[in-house]
Structure 1
């Protein structure tokens, strides 16, 4: 059970770091671009410290396509909260509808009609 949950927990943590690395600087647009880039690289280092082990461990129990799907769903969930909470840009109905379609696609990624 832990072998299935730990990679997801690590991907969750890595996505939090990466969301801040990619979008956190948008709250500080007065900072020079070079500073934003260096700060993003620094944050991304910690993201990789979680993401690489997550994928190594996760590939023992999930296919790489499933791992990527898990990562993308986590990214959307984290970004939705980040956008609203940190950047103050709430999501609209069409964003939720688009996310729902992506979750439906993720369901199909894990659906195996031949599995018992």
Structure 2
């Protein structure tokens, strides 16, 4: 991570690492529904576990940098992760899993805006 820290601000490092980790976790959780749809569940579970390991190798440094160096609270990190989850999941569901784009995603995003407001406001 030292190469990143030399030119990227700590909050941006946190967000980028969380975003990358979320891409891996989304594939670990849902990718098998399409790519391993006919494989036995235990095969999908082991493949997903391997993908999740890559997610953890990004998520743990993201949370450490965010909390210990960038000064985010644990609540702020969690809400940030949830917003990133929605930003990653919706395109994944639509383009990879071929799910229809639903208006409910917009309502969920608006709820997240409220969560971001409350967790990041001074008070």
Aligned to 1:83: 93
> 1:110 is matched with which residue: 110, 120, 123?
120
Root mean square deviation, CA, Å: 1.2
Gaps of 5+ in 1: none
Counterpart CA distance in 2 for 1:57 and 1:49 is: 13
Counterpart CA distance in 1 for 2:62 and 2:51 is: 17
Q: Deviations over 1:21-57 (max 9, x none)?
A: 0000011321111110010000001000000000111
> 2:63 is matched with which residue: 52, 55, 63?
55
Are positions 1:71 and 2:78 aligned together?
Answer: no
**Residue correspondences, number:** 113
Gaps of 5+ in 2: 1-7
Aligned to 1:22: 29
Are positions 1:11 and 2:18 aligned together?
Answer: yes
